[in-house]
Structure 1
Amino acid sequence: MTPDQDKSSITSASARTNPFRRNRNVTPLAPDDAQRQGAISALAFQLLGGRDAALDFLNTEDAILSGRPIAIATQSEDGYASVERELRARSLVRDAPNGG
């Protein structure tokens, strides 16, 4: 192997494994979708009492909603509304005396 070949194989290997390299195959969210995603995340954080509870709710498949709440809320206004209703219902149960 020549020094040039060795150098190019190191460069290509490091380019593939750089964790900070931008994934160019991912399409960014549309502005409306991004707004809904941010809003539902903030609401979950407020109503469920913090980051861990919010992330758990948003990223776990939900039988009532038929999917992951973060994906459902991001897709449409109707999806956002259904996730918001479920969040508020769970918040009321959590805040009720004796835990519901």
Structure 2
Amino acid sequence: MNYNVIPTPDFKKLFKKLAKKYPSLVSDFRELIHTLSEKPTTGTALGQGIYKIRMSISSKGKGKSGGARVITFLVTPAMEVYLVHIYDKGELDNLHKDQIMKLLRKAGLI
């Protein structure tokens, strides 16, 4: 069974901004969407259905460690994975749990 992968409005805005800076992000991201639909628990579990995924950006040339981070929220009964936030590891070191919870509330997910 495949999960539906759904971007939040904030995610779409951030993704568009990053895609302008890194043209390969769109194709790199397609692979991630495919992976998430089949294995929604991809990444590091942060608790409460929240996951942080390390993603490489080909046009950046730094691999996963210097690439992007994607925050996802898993809703198991509905078989949905929400894309909550994306950021460039070079611009933001980390996103704290309280910031993630605020994003989830803003998106109406909790």
Does TM-score exceed 0.5, indicating one fold? no
TM-score by length of 2: 0.29
In our comparison, the structure showing a higher alpha carbon Rg is 1
Structure (1/2) with the larger helix percentage: 1
Name whichever structure is richer in strand by fraction: 2
Which protein has greater RCO, CA pairs closer than 8 Å, 6+ apart? Answer: 2
